[in-house]
Structure 1
Amino acid sequence: MSAFSLKIDIADNRYFNGETSPLFSRRQAQQARHFHQKITGYQPTPLYALKDLSALLGIKNILVKDESQRFGLNAFKMLGGSYAIARLLCEKYQLNINDFSFDTIKTTIKEKMTFATTTDGNHGRGVAWAAKQLGQNAVVYMPKGSAQERVDAILKLGAECIVTDMNYDDTVRYTMKVAQENGWEVVQDTAWEGYTKIPTWIMQGYATLADEAVEQMTSMGISRPTHVFLQAGVGAMAGGVLGYLVDVYGASNLHSVVVEPELADCIYRSGVKGQIVNVGGDMATIMAGLACGEPNPLGWEVLRNCATQFISCQDAVAALGMRVLGNPLGHDPRVISGESGAVGTGILAAIHYHPQRDALMQKLGLDRDSVVLVISTEGDTDAKHYREVVWEGKHPATR
């Protein structure tokens, strides 16, 4: 068997206390899912069992939630943006979210609103999509280095899209400033003092995918996963999904691992220190959706309390995951997974081929009885780079 060593730093969460949050519970997730179910074209994204890959790696099962099939948008992010915008409009026009419909709100809104956001690509596309459905305006700011394909996807939805010369976190601050000057509504998936309501709604919206996954596992005869690998940028998805899962299964019954690129590992560093640590600089990782240096305080609280471990890894781990999912073993289904989507599977593959495989498996509590849930959060949202990685061997596992 081949052996190669990719950089994977694993830190145990010394601050774990298992405290759950009423904001990110099964009840809140099911309310969000009820909203999503009313959107034309809604259906749960697939949950695939990679039995042949699991056998190779020596574990019982790998379950991949494929979010590339979410409303034709190639990523999960619209779950948060659409739900937050709906909640915002319900509050503004005194409507009940359980009675919300896009058609009703279109006739209710007298003056067009503008929703502003910062994005690495997928969140902005979701906000632009929701604004278009409602006949409203969207202005989307992106950090420097953003792929043109991701810009074009937002423009095609009728939104204005501006690429700045700043990193993600500085672009968020700029967006807030411009939005305040223009009277726009900011729909952002990170939080700060005085801005928590909308990020909470976004995180609750993300939990729809977790509610689907639990339902799908039950129908597959799986009582619960032993492990979940959740990638993090600001930690909104990871916090929202983990909050739901620990409410369902109990924090002590789930080995949860938060994964980040080493060039933007603010959650990892925060996990080591036990308090929020920000990361600055360009954060030039291929995992564009995770290139965030300042944790969402709402997500961080859930992760600090309930995550088992934190991982910081090099970009080649994500590239390996993209190849493994896109070139399946045996009868496993093919999953087209982008850079940020594939990193959880990449960790599993990288450990299998690592010279210290057994020690790493033990460190993560992986054995022949392990059932691992991973979320492929995006498809090939940058198709050119996807082919450079999968076809041309960019970011190789070995040199």
Structure 2
Amino acid sequence: MTGPIDWKFNEIVRTTEQLSSLDRFTWEEANRARTFHQTFDCYRETPLASLPRLAEHWGLGGVYVKDESYRFGLNAFKVLGGAYAIGRYLAERLEMDIGDLSFERLRSPEIREQLGEITFVTATDGNHGRGVAWAAAQLGQRSVVYMPHGSSLTRLEAIRAAGAEAEIMQWNYDECVRHAARMADEHGWVVVQDTAWEGYEAIPEWIMQGYSTLAIEAIEQLRALDVPKPTHVLLQAGVGSFAGAVTALFASFYGEERPAIIIVEPNKADCIYRSATAGELQIVTGAMDTIMAGLACGEPNPVAWQLLQDYGDMYISCPDSVAAKGMRMLGNPLGDDPVVISGESGAVTAGLLDHLMTDPQLADAKDRVGLTEASHVLLVSTEGDTDPSRYRDVVWDGMFPSFARS
């Protein structure tokens, strides 16, 4: 393993008045997004895999993995945010409510003529850009995608195949975000990015609301398994928008009975962990060359960070080997547990949970967050094998081993 696993427990107690408002992340707002997603012909609820043999191995009451590799045929959850944000943006342009607009109506010739040509631009490691490209193409619109240095050529070609003009730049992710914003200003394009800055808040919020679709699906699926609620939820964070959205919905829906929220990041791009440790927003710079490309973000979304600061319980920074172990464990299950094909960013929470439950050096962290034989833990595999070659490097060939070889 390269590097330690660092953790920070949130010991700050805030009054209700001090906590961030959850008004924009209620069940009603999340269901509004899901209702829009349900108008897509390709909408299917993604499966929730129950892993009882793995739970028994770890000494837990239950382990459940929301498998987003089935989302819209795009192998990742990100399209939920991009598609909903584009839908909301077009609804605003049409001066209509998103509840009155199906995906099919938005792509109709009369609506297309009314809107004219719009170019959507974004920065991405792959999954978000592919989702934006797909949604824009489905609606007859143009998209431009910028990818950071070191991005996968496989993911680049997948974005182009989805309909976007895409290229890999010589910058890191956050610099690509700034470039996308500059291009939008120069050309009159529309930025679809899941991080916010002054004067750019609405679209990132819509993206976060779009992510909530998977959370309400998971809540309903757990109930169908006679699990009233998860006791713990592990969420991976890049800029924090996905983690912030799911955290906010669970806090809103369950109130004081909400599950413990554990935020997990790569140690080369751990801006949320560093912010939690410092007590204020922190930025990570440099190449951020982690295997977890979808999480290689150095600047937190300030809206998401505030939610995670207020409602998160533990923040963890871990090396790439943790994600690699999670990939191998989910892809090679115990007994009759189902197989989950999970990519680098998707599997890190599974790898981290293994360390929490088996590593004596993390016993204090395990105790502080209350993981016991009565715990029912929800994980989200946010992507499948979006880079098949890298997936095989890890799962077949043992790249990023979990232990030091002699």
Q: TM-score, normalised by structure 2?
A: 0.95
| Residues 1:389 and 2:394 aligned together | yes
| Residues 1:67 and 2:68 aligned together | yes
SS at match of 2:30: helix
Q: What corresponds to 1:14 in structure 2? A: 11
Q: What corresponds to 2:130 in structure 1? A: 125
Q: What corresponds to 1:214 in structure 2? A: 219
2:5 counterpart letter in structure 1: I
Counterpart-to-counterpart distance in 2, 1:226 and 1:335 = 22
The partner residue of 1:189 within 165, 169, 194 is 194
Residues 69, 382 of structure 2: 8 Å contact kept: yes
Counterpart-to-counterpart distance in 1, 2:402 and 2:163 = 39
Structure 1 residue 6, shift from structure 2 partner: 6.9
Q: Where do 1:21-40 residues align within 5 Å?
A: 21-40=22-41
Structure 1 residue 104, shift from structure 2 partner: 2.4
Counterpart-to-counterpart distance in 2, 1:67 and 1:58 = 26
The partner residue of 1:244 within 242, 245, 249 is 249
1:325 counterpart letter in structure 2: L
Counterpart-to-counterpart distance in 1, 2:80 and 2:241 = 12
Q: Where do 1:39-118 residues align within 5 Å?
A: 39-106=40-107, 107=109, 108-110=111-113, 111-118=116-123
Structure 1 residue 352, shift from structure 2 partner: 3.4
Report the count of equivalent residues: 396
Q: What corresponds to 1:323 in structure 2? A: 328
2:349 counterpart letter in structure 1: G
SS at match of 1:213: helix
Distance 1:252 1:220, change over 3 A: closer
Deviations 1:106-130 (A, max 9, x none): 3213221110000011000000010
Counterpart-to-counterpart distance in 2, 1:252 and 1:369 = 15
Residues 40, 104 of structure 2: 8 Å contact kept: no
Residues 6, 354 of structure 1: 8 Å contact kept: no
Counterpart-to-counterpart distance in 2, 1:229 and 1:363 = 15
Residues 39, 103 of structure 2: 8 Å contact kept: no
Distance 1:366 1:201, change over 3 A: same
Residues 225, 372 of structure 1: 8 Å contact kept: yes
Residues 65, 378 of structure 2: 8 Å contact kept: yes
Counterpart-to-counterpart distance in 2, 1:16 and 1:125 = 40
Counterpart-to-counterpart distance in 1, 2:309 and 2:355 = 25
Counterpart-to-counterpart distance in 2, 1:91 and 1:100 = 11
2:224 counterpart letter in structure 1: S
**TM-align CA RMSD:** 1.4
Counterpart-to-counterpart distance in 2, 1:245 and 1:352 = 24
Residues 251, 306 of structure 1: 8 Å contact kept: no
SS at match of 1:341: helix
Structure 1 residue 8, shift from structure 2 partner: 1.5
Q: What corresponds to 2:160 in structure 1? A: 155
Identical positions, percent = 52
Counterpart-to-counterpart distance in 2, 1:16 and 1:207 = 26
Q: Which runs of 5+ in 1 are unaligned?
A: none
2:106 counterpart letter in structure 1: I
Q: TM-score, normalised by structure 1?
A: 0.97
Residues 34, 213 of structure 2: 8 Å contact kept: yes
Counterpart-to-counterpart distance in 2, 1:312 and 1:104 = 44
